[in-house]
Amino acid sequence: EVQLVESGGGLVQPGGSLRLSCAASGFTISSNWMHWVRQAPGKGLVWVSRIKIDVSDTSYADSVKGRFTISRDNAKNTLYLQMNSLRAEDTAVYYCARENWQVWSWGQGTLVTVSS
Amino acid sequence: DIVLTQSPGTLSLSPGERATLSCRASQSVSSAYFTWYQQKPGQAPRLLIYGSSTRATGIPDRFSGSGSGTDFTLTINRLEPEDFAVYYCQQYDASSITFGQGTRLEIK
């Protein structure tokens, strides 16, 4: 069974950093395209970042480019999102997702709150 | 980026009725990479339809998807109480991933 479990969210001050993790089971993340998607409170879904099978092939939404970095640890079968220079508008639930051909599988999300 | 516009923003219906949700793209998208999700409060999105018209595993046959190019539709026949939620469309390809703003399906 495919399972994605996010962790690492919490309260952080503006300008601070946080690293999110997404532990995968039931499949190998290095064989799939993986994504981070976020959802601000009461708002819709917004794609944040993607990493392809070639680990050097990554992409980002303009709103996070230069501040966020997606990566993975194949040995731990875990996806990461390093978030730096955080802003209030980054406050959201962050979901990791697996893209397997046409089927996306999602984790339960982790909440990031950026506030002083 | 491709913009997805969902309509209506809110749909008020009664159990047993049919719901028709629309998603229009700002430019043509591939049907193979067009998806519908259901989301309930405090929960992750749940995959309903992928490839524009294929039901995901475990999704009841009262849910159906159709469309191509720039116009896509999610139809829910014989609404059940558990169907009242927010629905999102999504398109994705090698260069762009976008979601619609959502349609809230509420009990009338």
Q: What is the pLDDT of residues A36-71, one digit of tens each?
A: 999 999 999 999 999 999 999 999 999 999 999 999
pLDDT at B93 over 90: no
Identify the band that residue A115 occupies on the pLDDT scale cut at 50, 70 and 90. very high
Q: Is residue B15 reached through a cis peptide bond, with omega within 30 degrees of 0 on the bond before it?
A: no
Quick check: A23 contacting B, CB < 8 Å? no
Q: B99–A44: do the CB atoms touch at under 8 Å?
A: yes
A99 contact B CB<8A = yes
Distances (CA, A) of B74 to A73, B57, B58, B71: 38, 17, 17, 11
Q: What is the pLDDT of residues B47-92, one digit of tens each?
A: 999 999 999 999 999 999 999 999 999 999 999 999 999 999 999 9
Q: Rounded mean pLDDT of A10-36?
A: 97
- The pLDDT, as a whole number, for residue B96 is 86
Contact between B99 and A103 using a beta-carbon 8 Å cutoff: no
Residue A74: the pLDDT is 96
CA distance A1 to chain B (A): 13
Question: What is the pLDDT at residue A80?
Answer: 98
- What integer is the mean pLDDT of B18-46? 97
Quick one: pLDDT band at residue B94, thresholds 50, 70, 90?
Answer: confident
3-state DSSP of B4-34: EEEECCEEEECCCCCEEEEEEEEEEECHHHE
Nearest to A108 among B32, B44, B56 (CB): B44
Contacts of B89 in chain A (CB under 8 A): none
Percent of chain A with pLDDT over 90: 97
Averaged pLDDT for residues B16-34: 97
